Amino acid sequence: MAKSPRVAILLGSKSDEGHLKATTELLDRFGIDWELKVISAHRQPEALHEYVRAADRGGTQLFIAAAGLSAALPGVIGSISSRPVIGLPIPGGALSGIDALLSMVQMPGGIPVATVGVGSNGSRNAAILAAQILALFDTAVAEHLRVYREELRNG
């Protein structure tokens, strides 16, 4: 069985990709391997199911899902896998990302999406939250986080 990356990043559209720059840079800094795929929840539901099931079986520990507009992607991933799902709402459209934010954070009880903010701060926080979860059982990631926070403290 192919080994999956520790973090799988899924995007609803190729047009979302630029918003993930801070996320992927920070994951690299924290020494966390990741893979990024564009799979739309509403246009490619079968492909999404297949990918998430394979990632689950292959050992992916958490998902970061970025989408705009009504942003079904992270909730659907959460319906397939019981690994944590971090949702990154993408700004844009008539409501500037508020729609995506509410759609992620307001998941009905039972299938949570750990939602970060819209925009570049959310993009950073998605990686930091992922690292904090992985650091519970990974001392190398915990050390990277300690150094990162020390840098924040020192400006």
The one-letter code for the residue type at 55 is A
CB nearer ligand RP5, residue 31 or residue 92: 92
- Give the 3-state secondary structure percentages of the chain, helix then strand then coil, rounded to 5: 50, 15, 35
| Structure token pair of residue 41 | 């929840």
CA distance 1 to 107: 32
End-to-end Cα spacing for the chain: 45
CB nearer ligand RP5, residue 15 or residue 120: 15
Q: How far is the CB of 101 from ligand RP5 (least distance, A)?
A: 12
Q: How far is the CB of 17 from ligand RP5 (least distance, A)?
A: 10
Q: How far is the CB of 141 from ligand RP5 (least distance, A)?
A: 28
CB nearer ligand RP5, residue 74 or residue 80: 74
Contacts with ligand RP5 by CB under 6 A lie at 12-13, 15-16, 40, 67-69, 90, 92
